[in-house]
Amino acid sequence: MPLTQAGNAGLFFLAPWVVFFPVIGLLINIAFGHRMSEKAIGTVAAAASGLTFVVSVLLAAALRINPEAVCWTVGEWIHSGNLQLDWTFRVDTLSVTMMLVVSLVGTLIHIYAIGYMHEDVRFKSDPRRFRRFFVFMNLFIAMMMILVTGDSYLMLFVGWEGVGLCSFLLIGFWHEMDTLGRPSWANSDAAKKAMIANRIGDFGFLIAAFLMFWGFGSLQFDAVFHRAISISAINSPLIVLITLFLLLGVTGKSAQIPLYVWLPDAMAGPTPVSALIHAATMVTAGVYLVARSAPLYEAAPAAQLVVATVGALTALFAATIAVGQFDIKKVLAYSTISQLGFMVAGVGMGAFAAGMFHLVTHAFFKALLFLSAGSIILGLERGHHRLGHGHEGGGSKEPELFDPNDMRNMGGMRKTMPMTFWVYVVGALALGGIFPFAGFWSKDEILADAFREGYALVYWLLTAAAFLTAFYMGRQIWMVFFGQARHAAAEKAEESPRVITIPLVALAVLAALGGALNLPGLDTMTTWLEHTITSVHPGEFMPSVAMISTGLALLGILLSWLLYGRRPMQAGEVDPLRRLLGPIFVGMQRKWFVDEAYRALILDRYVDLARFTANVIDDRFWHDWFHEKVLAGTYNFLTRMALNRYADQRGIDAFFNQLGQWTKDASNRLRGVQNGFVRSYALVVLVGVVAMLGYLLFK
Amino acid sequence: MVPLTYYVALSAVLFSIGALGVLIRRNPLVIFMSIELMLNAGNLAMVAFTRTYNVLEGQIFVFFVMTVAAAEVAVGLALIVAIFRSRHSIDIDLMNSLKG
Amino acid sequence: MTIELVVFIVLGLVAISSALGMLFSRSAVYAALFLVLNFGTVAIFYILLNAPFIAMSQISVYAGAIMVLFLFVIMLLGTQALPDSGALPWQQPLAILLAVILAGEAVYLLFMRKVATAGIPQPIESFGSPQAIGGALFNEYLLPFEITSVLLLVAMLGAIILTKTRKGEG
């Protein structure tokens, strides 16, 4: 689609404000936050995010009238030789979709976070950290907006790096403690892990960008896609390489195999962070990248197969791990990785609309699930405090170690936290893909596309993952909300305040009704995206696929009821699935030992290499042998032997000493003249007289 | 009248003998006497010249030389006596404390 | 060969031999006496050269006062011959050589250069008489005369001071 410059500016001049509003918000909080109340800080941040949503809506409305892409340049950036880049905001249907999702979900989460962080900073005993949280959140929104509105790969990368930074800052928000509040390196280690894993992905992204510039001469989207199509006929390895390196970046940011390992650890951050960044928005940046690079992927079918397979494998792999987790947020984290696998498989197959549709619906229900989980965790904390193990209780007693995240401490919460219970059920049904919730429509579209396009392996992997998804969500619901409370804190849990539950309800509505965005037949989103990604096409609804997937989902829920719902777990009891599957369950619970394998194969080997280079090569070889023996020894030998003994002592010293000796001898001899005898002095006088007389005579 | 040159030659020989005496002898008194001999030789030549050129100034000069010689002898002998008092010897070879 | 020349030659020989005698005599007293003899012959030379006043003052001052003073001091210091110290062995031959050269040079000078003595009138009878000397002394050469008296005073003082013993010094 040819882009048009903003001749008729319309509302497109508002485009940069999606970035400016959050920046203004964070600046206000930085400058004045120390004098503002918590409510004020939160309101400023949420308002900044809300205004961003308003601008996104206006831009979407403007695009409805004029669906062609519009680029709005704010300023010059790099003009160096062939590289010509500006700070240009690209408003087209794809970027507006992302803007809407990020700002809507972001605003709801900001509102939620006002209530959540109010309690969290008090549980962790540091109320002054409230402001920092909202500064970072606004920074994240700004960076994400740069990512989705960038007009070139490099501007996208600026946002890519920026959200990685915010992820680091927010995961390590409670950097000096671990999730239970004890002083530890655990949280900061998790932040580092996220940063480093993302870095490896960024390396892939950069190599792809270099190849792009080298092959196409530009990094700007339209220029790249234009050249790609013409070059693809003659030099396809280049495009395959570019797309595969981009895939490496995607595996980092969107947590696919092999770089997904940071996302479960990222649950160390506060729950709003997990919801916003690690469920709804940042991790979807990789999916957005592939969708944006659609022309490149369309030109490299081999790469498409790789992407789709990676996504499908990740989906199944992560789902198996989710089955064995006891931490409520870890289940959701692996679920996120699994659903991201769905999305990546979707856009990898060329089903860009399906992938983006699932991105949007997943943002709704995953954010909902995470925020509800946060509500449950807070409820447990409140209950724990009410039991008197908090600060008001007996000071002499050692506080017991209580993990509010552990599902084994929960149970029967539907009675104590009803609102949270209902919204959680909505989210779980959406995630499980049960008709008519949003997840059904989007997941189904991906499965249908896989089946139709002939990606058989991908289809079966995704279907198995869908079955497991329903199973582990069911397991979670029975474990948390049904049965008896397995810990006194769960009995005493309280429902969360309205500032928390209202965003949950809003998201539940979206999760329930979100399917309307792209109902088969209506295909609203597909046609919307078609303006940007020319290769999308509305998929036809395949009832067989829908029935298989729905049937498997119901089967999964039934199985989970049989194991966890019919006879609920008691306190201290072993998980029933463990009794069934034994070592397989242990593998699932221990994440298939991937982290341990990475440590043994890569990390420890790297440390060994570093130790080797430091101790053996640097110390023993270079320093001890080469410097000390060879260089210093030779030098000292030379100076001592040659220069000192021969040149200096025998040569120069001898010469000057000899001179001195001669002077001494001469002076000794001359001294003899002054022998003190008067007679010899008189003789000398007479000699002079005679000589003079003789001279005068004979002249 | 004996030619002038004879007188001056005689004076020269006496002067040389006096110089020799200064150089050879070790007794300061004899050295001093040799010095007087040299002065005397000079006087002789002076008087010979006066007679030849018929001017009286030579004899006046000799008169003064004689006076000065007398004064010099007085002081010199006093010096020798003083040295003898401190050193108890008048061998000038022993008075070499100016040795360098 | 006039009488004068004969007298000159005889007296000359006496003078030279007495000088040599002074030079080579072991004893200082003998040396002093040889020197007195030498002074006497020189006084006779003065008479021959029309300088009677100078001759008399030579006898009285030189031979009479100075040599007597020498003899006093010789007696004061002892007349023993000094032992041979052995220092400066090369001094003696070198000195003799130099003296011979000196004499030779002087003689050479004298007999190679001619001196014009013609046209000078002979001195008158009273040429070197005391009156003439005195007249010249007190008329043209008064200042040197007075200075000489100061000189003699200084010499006297010097002699006294040099030989004065301080208290306690022996």
Q: Is B8 on the interface with C (CB under 8 A)?
A: yes
**pLDDT over 70 at A399, yes or no:** no
Least confident of A105-114, A395-404, C49-58: A395-404
Give chain B positions within 8 Å (CB) of A686: 19, 23
The conformational region for residue A553 under phi > 0 = left, psi -120 to 50 = alpha, else beta, is: alpha
Q: How far is B4 from chain C (nearest CA, A)?
A: 9
Instruction: Look at the block and give the residue holding tokens 């000192």.
Output: A644
For A198-212, A324-338, A404-418, which range has the lowest pLDDT when averaged over its residues? A404-418
Q: Which pairs count as long-range contacts for C127-131, CB under 8 Å and 24+ apart, including other chains?
A: C127/B51, C127/B54, C127/B56, C127/C50, C127/C51, C128/B56, C128/B59, C128/C49, C128/C50, C128/C51, C128/C52, C128/C53, C128/C54, C129/C52, C129/C53, C130/C52, C130/C53
B21-41 confidence digits (pLDDT tens): 999 888 889 999 999 999 999
Q: Which residues touch A309 (CB under 8 Å, ≥6 apart)? A: A345, A348, A457, A458
Q: What is the rounded CA–CA span in Å between residue A55 and residue A484?
A: 48
Q: Which of A141-145, A342-346, A410-414, B27-31 comes out lowest in average pLDDT?
A: A410-414
How far, in Å, are B55, B56, C116 from residue B52 at the CA level?
A: 8, 11, 10
Q: Residue A3 has what pLDDT?
A: 43
> Residue A683 in contact with residue C94, Cβ under 8 Å?
yes
Quick: pLDDT tens for A197-249.
999 999 999 999 999 998 888 898 888 888 887 877 776 788 899 999 999 99
Whether residue A408 contacts residue A476, with contact meaning beta carbons closer than 8 Å, is answered with no
- Decide if C58 and B25 are in contact by the 8 Å CB cutoff: no
Percentage of chain A exceeding pLDDT 70: 96
Which residues on adjacent β-strands are paired with residue A220? A152
Q: What backbone phi and psi angles, to 5 degrees, belong to A75?
A: -175, 165
How far apart CA A550 and CA A463 sit, in angstroms, is 10
DSSP C76-133: HH--PPPPP----TTHHHHHHHHHHHHHHHHHHHHHHS----TTPPPP-TTTT-HHHH
d(C-alpha C80, C-alpha C74), whole Å: 10
Give the nearest chain C residue to B3 (CA atoms): C5
- Residue A100 in contact with residue A50, Cβ under 8 Å? no
Say how far apart CA A162 and CA A155 lie, in whole Å.
Answer: 11
* Nearest-CB residue to A683 (from C95, C105, C108): C95
User: Is the model's pLDDT at A678 over the cut of 50?
Assistant: yes
What pLDDT shows up at residue A4?
46
B13 Cβ partners below 8 Å, 6+ apart? C16, C103, C106, C107
Three-class SS of A563-606: HHHCCCCCCCCCCHHHHHHCHHHHHHHCHHHHHHHHHHHHHHHH
Residue tagged 């219970």 (tokens)? A421
Give the CB-side neighbour count of residue B35, counting CA atoms within 13 A. Answer: 19
Distance from CA of B92 to the nearest CA of C (A): 10
B48's tokens? 């010979």
Q: What is the pLDDT of residue A530?
A: 81
Going A281 to A54 to A76 to A84, the CA torsion angle's sign is positive
The closest CB to that of B93, out of C42, C45, C85, belongs to C85
**pLDDT confidence bin for A172, thresholds 50/70/90:** very high
Q: State chain A's mean pLDDT as an integer.
A: 87
Tell me if B62 sits within 8 A of C57, measured CB to CB: no
Q: Is A403 left (phi over 0), alpha (psi -120 to 50) or beta?
A: beta
Angstrom distance (rounded) from CA B15 to CA C98: 12
Neighbours of C18 (CB within 10 A): 23
The residue type of A676 is G
Chain C: give the shortest CA distance to residue A683, in Å: 7
Distance CA A280, CA A140 (A): 13
pLDDT, tens digit (0-9, with 9 covering 90-100), for A48-60: 999 999 999 999 9
- In chain A, the residue whose alpha carbon lies closest to the alpha carbon of C96 is A683
User: Which two structure tokens, joined as six digits, stand for C90?
Assistant: 């090369």
Helix (H) or strand (E) holding A85: strand A83-91
- Section A477-505 average pLDDT: 84
Q: Which residues contact B69 (CB under 8 A, 6 or more apart)?
A: B36, B39, C62, C66
Q: Are B16 and C104 in contact (CB under 8 A)?
A: no
A605-613 average pLDDT score? 90
Residue A333: what pLDDT? 93
Chains contacting chain A through 3 or more C-beta pairs under 8 A: B, C
Q: Which residue has the tokens 């007495």?
A: C18
* Nearest alpha carbon to residue A83 among A152, A37, A4, A146: A152
pLDDT tens-digit map of A16-44: 999 999 999 999 999 998 888 888 999 99
Inter-chain residue contact C120 with B54, CB threshold 8 Å: yes
Whether residue A654 has pLDDT greater than 80: yes
Of C49, C62, C110, the CB nearest to B51: C49
Residues A356, A286 contacting (CB under 8 angstroms):
no
Query: Is residue B87 less than 8 Å (CB to CB) from chain C?
Result: no
The verdict on pTM exceeding 0.90 is no
What is the sign of the dihedral through the CA atoms of A386, A391, A394 and A397? positive
Residue C118 forms contact with A (CB below 8 Å): no
Dihedral sign (CA A73, A74, A79, A84)? negative
Higher pLDDT, A291 or C118: A291
Looking at every residue in chain C, the average pLDDT score rounds to: 86
pLDDT at A223: 87
Q: A580 pLDDT exceeds 70?
A: yes
Contact flag B97-A674 (C-beta cutoff 8 Å): no
Whole-number Cα distances in Å, A271 to A57, A106, A194, A262: 27, 13, 16, 16
Instruction: Tell me whether C119 touches chain B (CB under 8 Å).
Output: no
In DSSP terms, A5 is beta-bridged to A71
- 3-state helix vs strand vs coil in chain A, percent to 5: 75, 5, 20
* Residues in CB range of C141: below 8 A, 6 or more apart: B60
Residue A679 binned pLDDT confidence (cut-offs 50, 70, 90) = confident
- Residue of A374, A378, A255 whose CA lies nearest to A314: A255
Rounded distance between C-alpha atoms, residue A182 and residue A372, angstroms: 25
pLDDT value at position A394? 44
Band (A159; pLDDT cuts 50, 70, 90): very high
Q: What is the pLDDT of residue C115?
A: 67
For C20-78, the pLDDT digits (tens) are 999 998 888 999 999 999 999 999 999 988 899 999 999 999 999 999 999 999 988 87
Q: Which one has a higher pLDDT value, A21 or A119?
A: A21
Q: Crossing angle for the helix pair C28-48 and B28-53, nearest 10 degrees?
A: 0
What is the band of A493 on the pLDDT scale with cuts at 50, 70, 90? confident
Measure the CA–CA gap between A553 and A561, rounded to whole angstroms: 12
* pLDDT confidence band for B99 (50 / 70 / 90): confident
φ/ψ (deg, to 5) at A85: -135, 145
Closest CA to A243 of A227, A228, A226, A222: A228
For residue A173, give the nearest of A116, A112, A139, A129 by alpha carbon: A129
Burial class (CB in 10 A: 0-12, 13-18, 19+), A226: middle
Q: Which residues of A366-376 are buried (b: 16+ CB within 10 A; e: fewer)?
A: bbbbbbbbbbb
Q: Is the pLDDT of residue A7 over 70?
A: no
Q: Which residue has the higher pLDDT, B81 or A490?
A: B81
| Contact state of A680 with C88 under an 8 Å Cβ cutoff | yes
Q: Is the pLDDT of residue A392 over 50?
A: no
- DSSP 3-state assignment of A87? strand
Residue type, position A329, single letter: K
Q: Residue A338: which of A459, A490, A465 has the closest Cα?
A: A465
Q: What pLDDT is attached to residue A5?
A: 45
Contacts by residues C24-30 (CB-CB < 8 Å, ≥ 24 positions apart): C26/C81, C27/C79, C27/C81, C28/B27, C28/B29, C28/B30, C28/C74, C28/C79, C29/C71, C29/C74, C29/C79
Residue A406 has pLDDT above 80, yes or no: yes
Q: How many CB pairs under 8 A join B and C?
A: 220
Calculate the alpha carbon distances from A66 to A3, A9, A695 in Å. Answer: 11, 11, 130
Please tell me which residue of chain C has the smallest CA distance to A679.
Answer: C91
* pLDDT, mean of residues B89-96: 77
Instruction: Determine whether the interchain pair C163/B36 forms a contact, defined as Cβ–Cβ distance below 8 Å.
Output: no
Name the closest residue on chain B to residue A670, using Cα atoms.
B100
pLDDT at A413: 85
User: Facing residues of A71 across strands?
Assistant: A5, A90
Contact assessment for residue A345 and residue A250, using Cβ atoms and an 8 Å cutoff: no
Lowest mean pLDDT: which of A116-120, A451-455, A661-665, C138-142? A451-455
Residue A316 in this model has a pLDDT that exceeds 60? yes
The alpha-carbon gap from B60 to the nearest alpha carbon of chain A, in Å, equals 27
Q: How far apart are CA A338 and CA A469, in angstroms?
A: 8
Mean pLDDT of all residues belonging to chain B: 89
A693: chain C residues, CB-CB within 8 Å: 102, 105-106, 109
Query: Around Cβ A290, how many Cβ atoms within 10 Å?
Result: 27
| Closest Cα in chain C, distance from residue B86 (Å) | 9
Distance in angstroms (rounded) separating the CA atoms of residues A482 and A406: 15
Judge whether A413 and A423 are in contact, CB under 8 Å. Answer: no
- Contact criterion met (CB below 8 Å) for A367 and A503: no
Q: B67 — contact with chain C (CB < 8 Å)?
A: yes
Higher pLDDT among residues A643 and A332, named by residue = A332
ipTM: 0.90
Between CA A664 and CA B71 the distance in angstroms is 45
Q: How far apart are CA A514 and CA A443, in angstroms?
A: 12
Q: How does residue A483 score in pLDDT terms, banded at 50, 70 and 90? A: confident
Q: Which of A254, A318, A283, A187 is nearest to A591 (CA)?
A: A318
